[in-house]
Structure 1
Amino acid sequence: MKKQILTLITLMAFLVGSAQNSEEADVKQTIIDFFDAFHKQDTVKLKSMAKGNITMQSISVTKEGKTRLDENDYYAFIKNIAGIPKDKTFEEKLLDYKIQVDGKMANAWTPYEFWFNGNFSHCGVNSFQLVKEDNDWKIIYLVDTRRRQGCQ
């Protein structure tokens, strides 16, 4: 009987771990899809990936060494992306994914390099906060850092 209980507990732990890994994979795919839409300037897809007009923030350091926090709303971000001329190229290369999930909430931490017209521009990290509605992960908040030094 003890062996059967131990087997059942082991099986349940495996199933819970597998479900968590599946959710992490779904969050990662949401981030991949976000950047695919971003690079394609697909404003319809980008709008569908967030829960409304979310707040976006960027943290950087001024030439004087002061911390700077810029805020933008998501729809203004999308408008800016749509306004990039087609003859300009841009790519945000994600270097890693660190994802945490707790029920219907997730966080994705993605270090990146940003390239514009084939030239390195800056690096930093994105921090996505997401909520799961029905079967879809939606972005509810996005903050990033931007710097030119200390990049890989």
Structure 2
Amino acid sequence: MKHLLLPCLLAAAAPAFAQKPANETEAVKRTIQTFFEGMRKGDSTMVRATLAPGAVFHTISTKGGQIQLRPDNPASFVKMVGTPHQEVYDERITFDKVLIDANLASVWTPYEFYLGNTFSHCGYNSFQLVKLAEGWKIAHVIDTRRKEKCK
């Protein structure tokens, strides 16, 4: 009888263990979706709420055949989003990979960026998120940018 008890307990507990990663994955995705929803709406408060204190942004681009790593100021980005503008900033992403270990998440998202309905550029985002007391927050974003060979 003792030999049957442990397998039964483990089998009963398996669904509980399986649900947590899915819930965490969805929470991570929601943070990123909220970031882009705020960008589309021009809502700097919504965007700011997704960022961890000390968040860092980088862009990898090519200029004159040279690869460049350019830091972007998150505060400037948030201000730009909230400054009235004619065209909607519309970054369309899909979730390729979401990896989570404890309070760290790494997310890979291919994207296409549109100003209103006009295609601007594409590439990939790499997000690093941290789970703080108030939930998942974006700590680092680095992206590539190009106008051709999307996806």
TM-score by length of 1: 0.89
Structure 2 counterpart of 1:16: 17
In structure 2, the residue corresponding to 1:112 is in which secondary structure? strand
How much does 1:10 deviate? Answer: 2.9
Q: Which has the higher strand share?
A: 2
- What percent identity do the matched residue pairs reach? 31
How much does 1:83 deviate? Answer: 3.1
Structure 2 counterpart of 1:127: 126
Structure 1 counterpart of 2:70: 70
1:111 aligned partner, one-letter code? P
Query: Alpha carbons of 1:45 and 1:89: their partners in 2 closer, same or farther (altered >3 Å)?
Result: closer
TM-score by length of 2: 0.89
In structure 1, the residue corresponding to 2:52 is in which secondary structure? coil
- Paired with 1:12 and 1:135, the residues of 2 have a C-alpha distance of 27
Structure 1 unaligned runs (5+)? none
How much does 1:135 deviate? Answer: 4.3
1:77 aligned partner, one-letter code? F
Contact 2:95 2:107 in 1 (8 A): no
Contact 1:53 1:75 in 2 (8 A): no
Structure 2 counterpart of 1:140: 139
Query: Alpha carbons of 1:12 and 1:105: their partners in 2 closer, same or farther (altered >3 Å)?
Result: same
Contact 1:28 1:97 in 2 (8 A): no
- Paired with 2:147 and 2:3, the residues of 1 have a C-alpha distance of 59
1:6 correspondence with 2:11? no
- Paired with 1:35 and 1:95, the residues of 2 have a C-alpha distance of 12
In structure 2, the residue corresponding to 1:30 is in which secondary structure? helix
In structure 2, the residue corresponding to 1:54 is in which secondary structure? strand
How much does 1:84 deviate? Answer: 5.2
How much does 1:104 deviate? Answer: 1.1
Contact 2:113 2:120 in 1 (8 A): yes
Contact 2:93 2:111 in 1 (8 A): yes
